[in-house]
Every structure is written in structure tokens, then in C-alpha cells.
Amino acid sequence: MRIAVGSDHAGYRLKQHLAARLAEAGEDVLDLGAKSEESCDYPDYGRAVGAAVASGQADWGLVICGTGLGISMAANRLPGVRAARCTSEYDARFARAHNDANVLALGSRVSGVGLAEAIVETFRSTAFEGGRHQRRVAKIDAPAAADGGAPAPGSER
């Protein structure tokens, strides 16, 4: 598998560590930056990883900033990207199994190294279950309707 990784300055050290662990596990890692702990902007790296996943250049992505929030929002701006900010193995398991998440977002100031490793391993080893979840993922990926796509109360849409 090819995994695109990216972080801002706050996530740089954790990204470096996790990228090395993924490479040791035999994964092909595409490092899209940052290249140091010098201050930089997380949207640049969230979008770069999201674009790599959306285009098929990478099978899935890993993005890291201080909280995991901003960088996941940036990645999610690209069609076809389903970035999930995970703070536990439980989050990672269901992000993959039920939501077919294809980008994992972590917060370097939220999760320690050991927990981050466990979250990545859970994300990487969990398959999408499909079935009833496929219909919901299709709705996530569908373009938003002019009315916001919200179903009328009580409807089955």
C-alpha cells in the first residue's frame, strides 16, 4: 500500500516517527511535508495528502497537526476524501469499518506516541464493512444539494 503522510510543524516529529514505523512495516510512504519544525500552515499539508488520496496516488493518508482538527478539515475539502480525526483505537476501527475513512488525522498534542501507533495500526488493519454502511458513505460523497441535502423530518431519504 502507498500511504501519503503530511503534517504541519506541530505534527512534524510524530509524522516522522509514524512514517518510519509504516516504512518498517513494509508500506510505501509518500512524505508530502512539512520538512521541519519551522512554522507552517496545516491546510497546505492536509490538502496535499487529500489530493494524493483523491487522485489515487496514495491508497490512504495520514495527516497530523497539533489537534488533528484543522488538518482534517483541510483534507476533507477535497471530493472523495473522508478524513477522520481519531483519538482512540475505537474511533479508528469504526472510522474505517463504518465510514470507509481514507485519511487518518491525529493530534500530536492530543495523543502520545504509543497511542498514535496503536491508532495507526488499527486504522491500517481494519477493512470497510460495506453493506448498509455503503449507502451512507455514498451520501457523504454525494455533492451537496441546494437545500443542503437534509431529509424532511420523518422521511426515509
Output the domain CATH number for residue 8.
3.40.1400.10
Residue 147: its pLDDT value, please? Answer: 61
Indicate which residues carry an active-site annotation. 65, 98
**pTM flag (> 0.85):** yes
**pLDDT grade, residue 143 (50/70/90)?**
confident
Torsion of CA 97, 124, 95, 8, to 10 degrees: -170
Residue 99 structural domain: 2-141
156: in domain: no
* Three cell numbers written together for 141: 460523497
Helix (H) or strand (E) holding 64: strand 60-65
- Structural domain total, the chain: 1
Residue 106, pLDDT > 90, answer yes
The pLDDT mean for the chain works out to 94
